[in-house]
Amino acid sequence: MENLLDEDLARAAQQGDEDAFAELVRRYERQIFSMAYRLAGDYDEAADLAQEAFLRIYRMLDRYDPQKKFFSWMYRVAQNSCLNALNKRPHNVIPVENAEEYLAPEGSDAALAAAVAEPEQNYLNRELRQNIDEAIAQLPDNYREVVYLRYIEDLSYQQIAEVCGLPVSTVETRLFRGKKQLQKNLLRLMQAN
């Protein structure tokens, strides 16, 4: 199943193949969790939101058109699911520190380096990460989403356009402006510390 395209797995899942859906969850659980965490700001709440999002995706599989990119459809359903759930809950925002272990793949060079690094370097890395997260959070919504998808999720301009339902030219413009604003926000935050 690992060699099948997302769209093939989605078609199989639409026909009741639970293993196909499980493979889709495996492929995208980190990205959906990361998006949920970005929206919620809380590790436990993000885990709940991601789980709810996958349940919603599963229930809505019959609405998926296999002629379209599965990732774009899935990401939009998950994002809407998270936003709807958050609108019904009080907002509790806490620092990113709790998510670092989840976001770094097990056995990765980054995880190994973080475990071995000097305590001072760990502190500086954590502080930089917090500043970056805060600088992104301060961006206007239309910039924050595209900046996050490009630089944190590493999506292409075309994928961002599909996820956001925007023309590629609009994505390029928002990324350009968002990046300039992000640099200003980050500089201001770092000078304040």
Positive/negative CA dihedral, 152, 157, 163, 165: positive
Element (H, E) at 165: none
CA distance 96 to 158: 28
Q: Are 43 and 37 in contact (CB under 8 A)?
A: yes
pLDDT digits (tens, 9 = 90+) for 12-53: 999 999 999 999 999 999 989 988 888 787 788 889 999 999
Q: Measure the CA–CA gap between 76 and 162, rounded to whole angstroms.
A: 9
What confidence category does residue 190 fall into, taking pLDDT thresholds of 50, 70 and 90?
confident
**Under 8 Å between Cβ of 37 and 99:** yes
Domains and their CATH numbers in the chain = 6-87 (1.10.1740.10), 104-192 (1.10.10.10)
**Distance between CA atoms of residues 182 and 146, nearest Å:** 12
Q: Check whether 104 has a pLDDT greater than 50.
A: no
Read off the pLDDT band of 110 (50, 70, 90).
low
53-59: which pairs have CB atoms within 8 A and are 24 or more residues apart? 53/77, 53/78, 53/79, 53/81, 53/82, 54/25, 54/29, 54/78, 56/81, 57/81, 58/13, 58/21
Element (H, E) at 32: helix 18-40
Question: The tokens of 104 are what?
Answer: 């770094």
Identify residue 9 by its one-letter amino acid code: L
Write out pLDDT tens, residues 63-98.
998 888 898 899 989 988 988 887 776 544 434 334
Mean pLDDT of 158-170: 89
